[in-house]
């Protein structure tokens, strides 16, 4: 073999050793001819010791010999090696139409990586499969995908990214936020992004069910369990959510007696219906929500500490509307368009003074209050504009203003103050990166530079 060929092979080996993927090559008799260093290191062997040995003797559950026999490639196949699940691709190597060997790649070293990738893919293509998801919604009970949730503010984008990251696993998620921030909508989105998206999505509001009925609602009851019980019994929410997601809203309002029973179910992964002595295994992902400070409830013994840690594996905090006011115009347009679709009426636009007042208002009821305000104004307004006078009295009377000084000055001055504050908030969230801030706000680089000069703001001063 000449020097240049040796050099080429050495370079190829170095390149294969640098890959994240694990690589193995076998000859026509399924003997290992090459294995890259990362793969050998995982197997706990010296790769030179593997050369010439049958691949089945070195790599457990391999199918390289099967590829040699069939001459067909195998893509995205699950393989368990040393107690870990892998995703592998295998290809036959041909010369002159004859199979002379095979090469295999372990693309994902753990199924968790595959779940994360799968979650990202689902998020990217969600706007292309509207009709498929509409059908899925009817089957699963979940109605809102991540792309259905309106908002481009840094605060809401951070929430969306967190939801995408945790959706692929099975960890319990606690969604926190004030009333009206959209906690249930995010529970829907989490389910539809998860590996359980084809399974049921079952929800229950713990504050809406009387204490004496909550146990049977959650765990079901057997026939004859109590007076008035249905013949044949009834399944509870846990049974209905099997292989899917159970969403417990207002978990902070659950009575202590039920908290103990819920904890046992989460620990043992089995339930016992009321009036039954039979334990039933369940496979449910739990998502909970609350507007209450659970830590303070734990301190005063109104919420079990052990249950708190069980449900709070991942915590997602939804920002109040007053902290994401740059989303108000898009939310208003979304609600008006939806109302127009329902009524067959052309979607009206907010006048500048109406939008200004909406930007000033504190929105104690958050997005839910804003939706109600828009609906009220929609039906009270005439023509294609919604004026300040059409807004509910809470807004037009100047109640709950975030900054009292915004009540003063001309409309132009008040708009400028609101715009400046939105720019400041966005620059802080983007750590002073003006290009990123421009992208978040949906404006060009030249436009944001002009506005920064106008309001005497500098991107660097926000880099903290």
Tell me: do 86 and 230 sit in the same domain: no
According to the model, what pLDDT value does residue 86 have?
76
Q: What is the CATH number of the domain that holds 183?
A: 3.40.50.300
- Domain boundary (317, 338, 364) is at 317
Cβ(101)–Cβ(139) under 8 Å?
A: no
Tell me: do 132 and 50 sit in the same domain: no
Mean pLDDT of all residues in 194-206:
91
According to the model, what pLDDT value does residue 233 have?
72
Tell me: do 227 and 300 sit in the same domain: yes
Question: What is the DSSP-derived secondary structure letter of residue 1?
Answer: -
Backbone angles phi, psi at 181, to 5 degrees: -85, -10
Tell me: do 27 and 66 sit in the same domain: yes
According to the model, what pLDDT value does residue 228 have?
57
According to the model, what pLDDT value does residue 296 have?
94
According to the model, what pLDDT value does residue 448 have?
80
Percentage of the chain exceeding pLDDT 90: 43
- Domain boundary (109, 133, 148) is at 109
Alpha helices in 153-244 (DSSP H): 154-167, 183-193, 211-219, 237-240
**Band of pLDDT at residue 265, cut at 50, 70 and 90:** very high
Paired strand residues for 288: 174, 248
**Band of pLDDT at residue 84, cut at 50, 70 and 90:** confident
| Residue 110 pLDDT greater than 60, yes or no | no
pLDDT digits (tens, 9 = 90+) for 111-149: 555 556 556 655 655 544 544 454 444 445 667 777 778
How many degrees, rounded to 5, is the angle at CA 45 between CA 42 and CA 50? 115
Backbone angles phi, psi at 22, to 5 degrees: -95, 135
176 by DSSP, 3-state: which? Answer: strand
Tell me: do 230 and 298 sit in the same domain: yes
| Residue 199 pLDDT greater than 60, yes or no | yes
| Residue 464 pLDDT greater than 70, yes or no | no
Cβ(350)–Cβ(386) under 8 Å?
A: yes
According to the model, what pLDDT value does residue 119 have?
64
Question: Mean pLDDT score of the chain, rounded to an integer?
Answer: 82
Number of neighbouring beta carbons within 10 Å of residue 173:
27
C-alpha to C-alpha distance for 35 and 103, rounded to whole angstroms:
10
**Band of pLDDT at residue 88, cut at 50, 70 and 90:** confident
According to the model, what pLDDT value does residue 406 have?
42
Least confident of 120-129, 219-228, 348-357, 413-422: 120-129
- Domain boundary (317, 349, 364) is at 317
Mean pLDDT of all residues in 224-233:
62
Tell me: do 268 and 249 sit in the same domain: yes
Q: What is the CATH number of the domain that holds 333?
A: 1.10.8.60
| Residue 311 pLDDT greater than 80, yes or no | yes
According to the model, what pLDDT value does residue 276 have?
78
Tell me: do 419 and 404 sit in the same domain: no
Percentage of the chain exceeding pLDDT 70: 82
C-alpha to C-alpha distance for 115 and 111, rounded to whole angstroms:
6
Alpha helices in 312-365 (DSSP H): 328-343, 352-360
Tell me: do 147 and 180 sit in the same domain: yes
Tell me: do 177 and 306 sit in the same domain: yes
According to the model, what pLDDT value does residue 87 have?
83
According to the model, what pLDDT value does residue 210 have?
87
| Residue 108 pLDDT greater than 90, yes or no | no
| Residue 220 pLDDT greater than 90, yes or no | no
**Band of pLDDT at residue 240, cut at 50, 70 and 90:** very high
How many degrees, rounded to 5, is the angle at CA 73 between CA 68 and CA 76? 125
pLDDT digits (tens, 9 = 90+) for 13-22: 777 777 768 8
Query: How far does the chain reach from its first CA to its final CA, in angstroms?
Result: 60
Q: What is the CATH number of the domain that holds 10?
A: 3.30.450.20
Structure tokens at 251: 């978990």
User: Comparing C-alpha atoms, which of 239, 245, 233 is closest to residue 218?
Assistant: 239
| Residue 58 pLDDT greater than 80, yes or no | yes
| Residue 291 pLDDT greater than 90, yes or no | yes
C-alpha to C-alpha distance for 388 and 405, rounded to whole angstroms:
19
According to the model, what pLDDT value does residue 63 have?
93
C-alpha to C-alpha distance for 140 and 133, rounded to whole angstroms:
10
Structure tokens at 20: 């994240």
Tell me: do 296 and 326 sit in the same domain: no
User: Comparing C-alpha atoms, which of 67, 68, 69, 61 is closest to residue 86?
Assistant: 61
Cβ(246)–Cβ(237) under 8 Å?
A: yes
Predicted model pTM: 0.61
Backbone angles phi, psi at 403, to 5 degrees: -125, 115
Q: State how beta strands 84-95 and 98-108 pair.
A: antiparallel
Tell me: do 25 and 87 sit in the same domain: yes
Tell me: do 367 and 447 sit in the same domain: no
According to the model, what pLDDT value does residue 70 have?
93
Report how many domains make up the chain: 4
Q: Could you list the residue range(s) of the whole structural domain that residue 38 is in? A: 3-109
**Band of pLDDT at residue 229, cut at 50, 70 and 90:** low
C-alpha to C-alpha distance for 175 and 314, rounded to whole angstroms:
9
């Amino acid at each position: 073999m000449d020097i240049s060929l040796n050099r080429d092979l050495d370079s190829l080996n170095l390149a294969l050793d640098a890959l994240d993927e694990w690589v193995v090559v076998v000859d026509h008799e399924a003997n290992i001819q090459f294995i890259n260093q990362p793969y050998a290191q995982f197997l706990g062997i010296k790769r030179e010791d593997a050369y010439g040995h049958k691949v089945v003797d070195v790599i457990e559950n391999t199918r390289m010999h099967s590829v040699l026999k069939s001459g067909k490639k195998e893509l995205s196949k699950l393989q368990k090696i040393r107690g870990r699940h892998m995703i592998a691709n295998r290809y036959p190597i041909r010369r002159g139409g004859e199979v002379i060997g095979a090469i295999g790649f372990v693309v994902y070293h753990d199924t968790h990586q595959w779940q994360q990738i799968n979650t990202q893919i689902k998020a990217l293509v969600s706007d292309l499969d509207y009709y498929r998801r509409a059908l899925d919604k009817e089957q699963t009970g979940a109605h809102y995908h991540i792309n259905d949730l309106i908002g481009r503010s840094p605060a809401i984008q951070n929430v969306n990214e967190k939801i995408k990251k945790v959706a692929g696993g099975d960890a319990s998620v606690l969604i926190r936020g004030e009333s009206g921030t959209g906690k249930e909508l995010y529970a829907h989105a989490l389910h539809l992004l998860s590996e359980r998206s084809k399974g049921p999505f079952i929800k229950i509001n713990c504050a809406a069910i009387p204490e004496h009925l909550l146990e049977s609602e959650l765990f079901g009851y057997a026939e004859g369990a109590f007076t008035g019980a249905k013949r044949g019994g009834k399944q509870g929410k846990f049974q209905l959510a099997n292989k899917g997601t159970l969403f417990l809203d207002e978990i902070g309002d659950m009575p202590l007696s039920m908290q103990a029973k819920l904890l046992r179910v989460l620990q043992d992964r089995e339930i016992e219906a009321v009036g039954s002595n039979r334990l039933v295994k369940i496979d449910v992902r739990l998502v909970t929500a609350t507007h209450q400070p659970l830590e303070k409830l734990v301190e005063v013994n109104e919420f079990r500490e052990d249950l708190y840690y069980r449900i709070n594996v991942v915590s997602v905090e939804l920002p109040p509307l007053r902290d994401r006011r740059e989303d108000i115009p898009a939310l208003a347009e979304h609600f008006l368009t939806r109302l127009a679709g329902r009524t067959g009426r052309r979607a009206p636009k907010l006048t500048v003074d109406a939008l200004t007042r909406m930007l000033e208002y504190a929105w104690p009821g958050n997005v839910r209050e804003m939706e109600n305000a828009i609906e009220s104004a929609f039906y009270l307004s005439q023509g294609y504009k919604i004026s300040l006078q059409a807004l509910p009295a809470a807004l037009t009377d100047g109640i709950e203003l975030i900054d009292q000084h915004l009540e003063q000055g001309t409309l132009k001055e008040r708009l400028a103050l609101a715009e400046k504050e939105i720019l400041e908030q966005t620059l802080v969230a983007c750590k002073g990166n003006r290009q990123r801030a421009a992208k978040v706000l949906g404006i060009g680089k030249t436009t944001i530079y002009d506005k920064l000069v106008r309001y005497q703001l500098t991107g660097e001063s926000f880099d903290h």
